[in-house]
Amino acid sequence: MWVLLEAQMERHATVNQAIGCLMARRGCDVDDALLILVEHCLHRHITIHEAATQALAGTV
């Protein structure tokens, strides 16, 4: 899955913050939170950074 690999390589501050928020909200680990972001990307046809911004806004 290319999007997952890209997400792991491009984890900058926004993505890391979104992962932390998802972990706190959903009680999941880092891998599950990243997978949630990637699935959101694929479903909405957006970039990982856009998905991270939406996760921080509470819409993921």
Instruction: Choose between 41 and 11: higher pLDDT.
Output: 41
Of 50, 60, 57, 48, nearest to 10 by C-alpha is: 48
Which of residues 24 and 1 earns the better pLDDT score? Answer: 24
Overall average pLDDT of the 3-29 stretch:
83
Label residues 16-54 b or e (16+ Cβ within 10 Å = b).
eebbebbbeeeeeeeeebbbbbbebbeeeeeebbebbbb
- pLDDT at position 26 over 90: yes
The predicted structure's pLDDT at residue 5: 64
More confidently predicted of 7 and 16: 16
- 3-class SS of residue 47: coil
Q: pTM value?
A: 0.77
pLDDT of residue 9: 63
